[in-house]
Structure 1
Amino acid sequence: MFSDWMWVIFTLIAAASQTARNSMQKELTTTLGTVGATHVRFLYGLPFALLFLFVISLVEGTPPSILDANYLLWTATGGMTQVLATGLMLAAMRMRSFVVTITYTKIEPVFVLLFAAIFLRDLPTHLAAAGVFVATAGVVIMSWPAKGAAFGAMTSTAMGLGSGALFALSAVFYRGGILDLPEGSFVLNASTTLSVALAVQSIAITIYLLVFDRKVLVALIASWRASAPAGFFGAFASQFWFLAFAVQSASLVRALALVEIVFAQVVSRRIFRQSTTAKEFAGMGLIIVGVLVILFGSTR
């Protein structure tokens, strides 16, 4: 049935859109710094998320659900861990290539599998779980530091892997928040959670910049022409991530999201003119095999 594969379509759209957003954010780090570029996806994504929510609510003729404290805890925690994850990812991008940094973060499915089991009692099939580990082995091969690697390379590896762990936590918390909503369609609940998360993130980082770095906030506002597209693609990608989380376990969604490495490879070569090693190609091959196993295993 088509409904069994909706999460696959949602995830592929999200991964492609997120690749576009990440490339835009990478460019913005040179003018706005890591914190400023991190804030772009939240501050400029919020208006688009609210627009999505308004349109969906209007079409369905149903208002968003009333939010309780438990829901807000799930979603706010997911939002703040995502902020930290994005910051670490962008910091790593300033030290390593675009595709390699994205690859580092994709150790995430193993963390998601662990965290989803702990917090949500949410487990995939044995075959899908095997696919997660095959794909993750590809990530490990790609990201393993060369013998005698410089300290900077190892630091960027640690940042990338830490980013993946935090992204995993945010995915699990977001799914927990969506599942906690008592009423509404999965589309409306996903859109509600996206809007709430972006609002929490935008408020938190804006307050931080007001207190500690107003120059970055001023620069961020002044660069709205360059930042708005990144905000749109960020909100658009998140909309489809959240739709996928609403209908499928976070571990399978984030495992299939490993296809983002392939998308990132195209961007890295065509836009940033960055080359890829044989080891990285081998890792990507394992990732593709793992993703195919995950897709097959999720339908058994």
Structure 2
Amino acid sequence: MPAWIPITIAAAFCQNLRSGLQKRLKGRMGTTGATFVRFGFGLPFALLYLAAVAWIDAEKLPAPNAAMLGAAAAGGLAQIGATFLLVYLFGLRNFMVGTAYSKTEPVQAALFGFLILNESIAPLGLLAVVAGVVGVVLISVGNAGPGNVLRGLASRAAAIGIASGALFGLSAVFFRAAALALDEGSAPLRAALTLAVTLAIQTLVMLVWMAARDREELCRVVRAWAPGLLVGLAGASASAGWFTAMTLQKVAYVRALGQIELVFTFASSVFWFREKVTRLEFLGAAVIVLAILALIAGAG
């Protein structure tokens, strides 16, 4: 089994855990604060991870170049926007549906991968695009009934979720570009360095923003340092997995396999948050999973 497959599954599990912890933070701080926690509290763990990888590999850290820094910054800013939209989305619909909307990401990542990195997908990927759209339609209807399909697609939740998925897909492509731009180093080391640099940029940008625009939110973040550390640990663990997998394999396939997170999300939605999932929402998520399986098959 290729290494990127178990790494991706582990990353998906950690990401679902991080999202659940972030949702619980919404009661203690606003969307901006809950977004910052992922990056600011994740940075120390990313630096420790980088040091551990460098020690285990017994390699010298590769020197960041302009292409790597530019791609990391672009991906970092896109991920900030995607995370902000996703956390905001949690307040509009339940946990499972909010996450499922953002799961249009693999299809969008395939498009961005082709446009930015010239990475193509197999013809079967076209079927995945169509199936993914059908899944989003079903989820957008929710429990309102088939007669409100167009209204569901035009809803605020649908637009925000799809925009979040687009930014996540774009950020993933930039992160792969950043790691590949490094001239030397093993895949885990290049991924770890890219992660640390990206989180440093994201933390600095959000700290400056909150210090200038919302100091009260920054104070709320400081007061919630204990749960914030848990979010940071889960987030850094997930990102380490994603960055490593995307250094080894095309973004579209990594993010497609990452849709296994929906399984973890269903469990969290039902057993952790005690939320009800309607039949149409369940069917829509199932169709999206089938679309992802088709996309994975296209990797062959």
1:229, distance to aligned residue in structure 2 (A): 0.5
Alpha-carbon distance in 2 for matches of 1:148, 1:284: 18
Aligned runs of 1:6-85 on 2, under 5 Å?
6-85=3-82
Over 3 Å counting, the alpha-carbon distance change for 1:133 and 1:246 in structure 2 is: farther
Aligned to 1:118: 115
Say which SS state the counterpart of residue 120 (structure 2) adopts: coil
Aligned runs of 1:194-205 on 2, under 5 Å?
194-205=195-206
Letter in 1 for 2:97: V
Alpha-carbon distance in 1 for matches of 2:46, 2:61: 13
Aligned partner (choices 90, 100, 110) of residue 97 of structure 2 = 100
- Is contact 2:76-2:201 (8 Å) kept? yes
Deviation digits for residues 150-188 of structure 1 (CA, Å, limit 9, x no counterpart): 89x911221111101111110111111111111000000
Alpha-carbon distance in 1 for matches of 2:214, 2:298: 48
Aligned runs of 1:1-300 on 2, under 5 Å?
2=1, 5-128=2-125, 130-131=127-128, 133-144=130-141, 146=144, 147=147, 154-298=155-299, 300=300
- Is contact 2:37-2:221 (8 Å) kept? yes
Over 3 Å counting, the alpha-carbon distance change for 1:115 and 1:296 in structure 2 is: closer
Alpha-carbon distance in 1 for matches of 2:130, 2:245: 21
1:31, distance to aligned residue in structure 2 (A): 1.1
Say which SS state the counterpart of residue 216 (structure 2) adopts: helix
- Is contact 1:43-1:198 (8 Å) kept? yes
1:258, distance to aligned residue in structure 2 (A): 1.7
TM-score normalised by the chain length of structure 2:
0.93
- Identical columns (%): 37
Superposed CA RMSD in Å reads 1.9
Alpha-carbon distance in 2 for matches of 1:39, 1:90: 11
Aligned pair count reads 295
- Is contact 2:29-2:217 (8 Å) kept? yes
1:201, distance to aligned residue in structure 2 (A): 0.3
Letter in 1 for 2:57: E
Over 3 Å counting, the alpha-carbon distance change for 1:237 and 1:292 in structure 2 is: same
